[in-house]
């Protein structure tokens, strides 16, 4: 987003952390300290933070709070630059104090963009186990949301949730995740890539690519693989990393699964070819994450014309997507091994590429289209 805005003529500064996600360790070449660099023509200030190797509910809270503390003065120091617009991306809400202070000091406008409703996700996934803590978190969230000039989020379902939390409709803006659609159109499956990964190019690939954490509930994928082990044509390929990967690998070994393969996170440049390989894509998350999160991985799956299985209930954002655009994906109930297995069988029988998915991506998910519309909507909301 910063690169796009800079190329469009806006002056941009970014305050962020050293990259650590989804491995929950700092990426190669990065140290846990303050750094300042110029990237694509704009200034990037990276702040240190606490990154737990095995995140729990409490450790995640400390993790988010640590970035709020280390970024506090770098954010306020930006006041001398006098930004017209201060955009905070949530997670994390803990940074809201300095964001709002900066906007007030510079007489600029404040925008909170919500990628995940982090309080809903933590409560829904039972990361917090005390009613009074839950209530305090919701009270804090509601008060913070009402103090921003504009609140944006990534789906209609999350827009409704923001309204329920007290955000006024005139201050609410839809800002969905996008795809660099042009990079994913007409990408051909590459047997060479499979061979380079030591996989049989004649197999049918059931692919999960992304974070392997708590909210995905990927254990169900392994149980499905166990149930489908007799079909020698199928390979379950789990690509990525995350806090739950070691546990998943251990479970796969204990089940004796020979049709499941784990690969590390692949370079972004190879993502189109990787996605094009799959006969079925898995967009899996636990029931508690329903409308608190909308998987960003889905945008590129749709752009490549992939057939996917989405775990979500009807009436959620993902459920509405499948209802409003018949054939875009297979929708199954979350946390059900039998439903996921049936969904995979159905997706494998669908034509490739998925024309409905590809058309949706071209119409609604293009980066230029979404960012231009966001700026229009933002201008309207601020005036």
Query: Domains of the chain (ranges plus CATH)?
Result: 8-178+366-382 (3.40.50.2000), 181-364 (3.40.50.2000)
Q: What pLDDT was estimated at residue 288?
A: 63
DSSP per-residue string spanning 118-155: HHHHHHHTTS---HHHHHHHHHHHHHHHTTSSEEEESS
Question: What's the whole-number mean pLDDT along residues 267-285?
Answer: 90
Q: Tell me: pLDDT of 147 over 80.
A: yes
Share of the chain above pLDDT 90, in %: 59
Higher-confidence position of 264 and 67: 67
Could you tell me the end-to-end alpha-carbon distance of the chain, in angstroms, rounded to an integer?
23
Lowest mean pLDDT among 22-26, 66-70, 75-79, 280-284: 22-26
Q: What is the DSSP letter of 316?
A: S
DSSP strand pairing (85-90 vs 109-114): parallel
Q: Tell me: pLDDT of 90 over 80.
A: yes
Contact 277, 197 (CB under 8 A): no
Question: What's the whole-number mean pLDDT along residues 139-163?
Answer: 89
Contact 79, 120 (CB under 8 A): no
Q: What is the mean pLDDT of the chain?
A: 89
d(C-alpha 171, C-alpha 102), whole Å: 19
Given pLDDT bands bounded at 50, 70 and 90, which one contains residue 294?
Answer: low
Q: Tell me: pLDDT of 126 over 60.
A: no
Per-residue pLDDT tens for 223-274?
999 999 999 999 999 998 888 888 999 999 999 999 999 998 888 888 898 8
Q: What pLDDT was estimated at residue 329?
A: 96
pTM: 0.79
Q: Tokens for 27?
A: 């990426």
Nearest Cα to Cα of residue 333 among 220, 237, 247: 220
Instruction: Match 């209802």 to its residue by tokens.
Output: 323
Q: Tell me: pLDDT of 72 over 90.
A: yes
Question: What's the whole-number mean pLDDT along residues 129-152?
Answer: 83
Q: What pLDDT was estimated at residue 34?
A: 97
Paired with 152 in beta bridges are 113, 173
Q: Tokens for 54?
A: 């095995």
Nearest Cα to Cα of residue 299 among 193, 175, 122, 192: 175
Given pLDDT bands bounded at 50, 70 and 90, which one contains residue 119?
Answer: confident
Nearest Cα to Cα of residue 283 among 344, 235, 359: 344
């Amino acid at each position: 987003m910063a690169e796009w805005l800079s190329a469009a003529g806006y002056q941009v500064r970014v305050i962020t952390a050293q990259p650590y996600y989804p491995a929950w360790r700092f990426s190669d070449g990065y140290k846990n300290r303050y750094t300042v660099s110029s990237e694509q023509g704009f200034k990037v200030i990276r702040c240190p933070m606490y990154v737990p190797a095995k995140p729990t509910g409490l450790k995640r809270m400390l993790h988010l709070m640590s970035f709020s503390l280390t970024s506090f003065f770098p954010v306020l120091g930006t006041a001398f630059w006098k930004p017209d617009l201060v955009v905070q991306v949530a997670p994390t809400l803990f940074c809201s104090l300095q964001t709002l202070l900066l906007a007030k000091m510079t007489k600029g406008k404040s925008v909170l963009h919500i990628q995940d409703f982090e309080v809903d996700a933590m409560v829904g996934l039972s990361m917090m186990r005390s009613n009074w803590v839950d209530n305090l978190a919701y009270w804090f969230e509601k008060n913070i949301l009402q103090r921003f000039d504009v609140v944006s989020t990534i789906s209609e379902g999350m827009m409704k949730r923001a309204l329920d939390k007290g955000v006024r409709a005139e201050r609410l803006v839809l800002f969905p995740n996008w795809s660099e659609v042009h990079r994913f159109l007409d990408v051909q499956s590459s047997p060479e890539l499979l061979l380079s990964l030591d996989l049989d190019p004649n197999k049918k690939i059931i692919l999960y690519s992304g974070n392997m954490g708590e909210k995905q509930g990927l254990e169900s994928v392994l149980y499905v693989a166990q149930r489908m082990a007799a079909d020698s044509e199928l390979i379950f390929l789990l690509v990525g990393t995350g806090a739950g990967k070691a546990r998943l690998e251990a479970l796969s070994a204990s089940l004796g699964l020979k049709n499941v393969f784990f690969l590390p996170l692949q370079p972004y440049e190879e993502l189109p070819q990787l996605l094009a390989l799959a006969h079925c894509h898995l967009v899996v998350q636990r029931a508690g994450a329903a409308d608190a999160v909308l998987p960003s991985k889905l945008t590129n799956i749709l752009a490549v014309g992939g057939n996917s299985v989405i775990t979500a209930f009807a009436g959620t954002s993902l459920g509405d997507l499948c209802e409003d655009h018949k054939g875009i994906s297979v929708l199954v109930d979350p946390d059900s091994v039998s439903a996921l297995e049936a969904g995979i069988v159905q997706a494998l029988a669908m034509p490739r590429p998925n024309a409905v998915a590809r058309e949706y991506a071209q119409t609604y998910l293009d980066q230029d289209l979404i960012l231009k519309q966001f700026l229009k909507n933002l201008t309207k909301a601020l005036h």
